[in-house]
Amino acid sequence: MTMNSFERVRAALSFSEPDRVPVMNFSDNYLEILRYSDVFPMLLSASKSWMPGHRDNEIGLFPKSGDPFYRWKKPVWATDPKYIEIRKGTHELIDEWGCIWNRSPHIYNMGHPGRPSLPDWDSLDDYIAYYFPNPVETDRYRLFNHLGKIFGRKKYRMGIFGDGPFSIAANMRGFSPFMADHIKNPKKVEYLLEQIVENFIAVMKMWKSTGDVHGFMIFDDLGEQDRPYMSVRMFNKFYENVYGRLYSAAHDLGCDFHHHSCGKNVKLVPSLIKWGVDAMEFDSPRMNGYPELEPYRGKIMFWGCVNIQSIYPGGTTAEVSREVWHMIRNLGTFKGGYGAFFYDNWKDIDVPKANIRAFRKGLNQHGIYRKIPPSWWTSTVTEIWDDHTVPPLPE
């Protein structure tokens, strides 16, 4: 039976036999989203009242907004030829949470977190009052609710938050100071995270009441290349009430919760499952390791891209297509549980367009469940993986 996009994603999430692997593609080319993605991203429009750069402490800060229709009322300094020239080079941005970013002209994506915007805990309440975005401003939901009704009618409509609570708080304080705050200022950390979570929950309620979304997604990296940022014990102490509340709030609204997280976070996955996450998304599944993730197959859904640190940018087209099967086999089950994620910042990591096409080809070859030979599901799985080597297909 052929499913529509919404049915396909929900079947993959519930392990109820989707017809094929669902696809999540957040390309900046909307035609690609319409053609290739089963997920329709629902974005928040920037607040019309958000006009950074008009305070003395914001001189030189340009707006960082994911809203393609945002129009900035420039302050006087931004019309100065000196600042116009600065913007062509490396410059600073400020987002709606007041976080400061560095942007290079050679980077296509959002840039990198810059200097702390909340260096002093004593100013926390004033910071929250001024910088935290208004979650109940109805204009922020109107555009994508409208687009969702037209272009996402049969797709799985996903409310996209962008950075999650950990990342936002770390950007405000600076990464190293924020990590130290978990020991030095635990009550401040808990209070800040609680305020961010309350804001997120209010946004979810608005998304659901003003339109119709099926799930939500945050991007919250929680680890380094080889380990989580903190011990499991500390993570559970501080973040059960963060992620657990977000997951529960989504479920109370009849929605799913999807959590992107870069880093080797496999030790945290049991906690996230316990707290109610529905799906994890990994840009580099091999960073966590297929054998390490195997105990959680069939418990939650895993979205995964062809490993962006090795195979996607550096592999041959044949290797990229072949890796698709290994993701299906190692992250999902014959009843579903795996979804293909197309990394949207492919230019930044020099992915050849041929490899993007090879990813799609691999899904066409291996991602239609009725065409997968039953013996492939029981064939021997590689135990030791080299990140640059793609094993052969089962015989």
Q: What is the pLDDT of residue 107?
A: 59
pLDDT at 87 over 90: no
Within 10 A of 38 (CB to CB), how many other CB atoms are there? 26
> Cα separation of 82 and 36, whole Å?
43
Which pLDDT band, with edges at 50, 70 and 90, does 106 fall under? Answer: low
Q: What is the pLDDT of residue 109?
A: 63
Q: What is the pLDDT of residue 347?
A: 85
Please report which helix (H) or strand (E) contains residue 9, including its range: helix 5-14
User: pLDDT digit string (tens) for 181-194?
Assistant: 999 999 999 999 99
> Cα separation of 225 and 262, whole Å?
9
And the tokens for 342? 């197309």
User: pLDDT digit string (tens) for 228-241?
Assistant: 999 999 999 999 99
Kindly state the average pLDDT of the residues 323-349: 95
User: pLDDT digit string (tens) for 62-80?
Assistant: 999 988 889 999 999 999 9
Burial of 2 (0-12, 13-18, 19+ CB in 10 A): exposed
Kindly state the average pLDDT of the residues 312-321: 98
pLDDT at 19 over 60: yes
User: pLDDT digit string (tens) for 30-47?
Assistant: 778 888 899 999 999 999
* Percentage of the residues of the chain whose pLDDT score is greater than 70: 98
And the tokens for 134? 């208004």
Between the alpha carbon of residue 385 and those of residues 156, 296, 381, 390, the distances in Å are 33, 18, 10, 8
pLDDT at 387 over 60: yes
The CATH number of 5-46+138-378 is 3.20.20.210
Q: What is the pLDDT of residue 31?
A: 77
pLDDT at 152 over 60: yes
Cα torsion 259, 260, 265, 270 to 10°: value is: 20
User: pLDDT digit string (tens) for 259-277?
Assistant: 999 999 999 999 999 999 9
Q: What is the pLDDT of residue 88?
A: 85
Kindly state the average pLDDT of the residues 337-348: 93
Supply the pTM of this predicted model: 0.96
Largest CA distance in the chain: 68
> Cα separation of 191 and 197, whole Å?
10
What is the identity of the amino acid at 33? I
Q: What is the pLDDT of residue 108?
A: 57
Kindly state the average pLDDT of the residues 7-28: 95
- Classified as helix, coil or strand, 40 is strand
> Mean pLDDT in the chain?
95
What is the identity of the amino acid at 136? V
> Cα separation of 142 and 135, whole Å?
13
Which pLDDT band, with edges at 50, 70 and 90, does 224 fall under? Answer: very high
User: pLDDT digit string (tens) for 116-125?
Assistant: 999 999 999 9
Q: What is the pLDDT of residue 341?
A: 97
Q: What is the pLDDT of residue 343?
A: 94
Between the alpha carbon of residue 384 and those of residues 52, 58, 276, 300, the distances in Å are 51, 51, 30, 23
CA-nearest of 127, 113, 154 to 57 is 127
User: Could you tell me the residue ranges of all domains in the chain?
Assistant: 5-46+138-378, 56-129
Q: What is the pLDDT of residue 205?
A: 98
Which pLDDT band, with edges at 50, 70 and 90, does 351 fall under? Answer: very high
Which pLDDT band, with edges at 50, 70 and 90, does 110 fall under? Answer: low
- Identify the weakest region by mean pLDDT among 101-105, 353-357, 376-380: 101-105
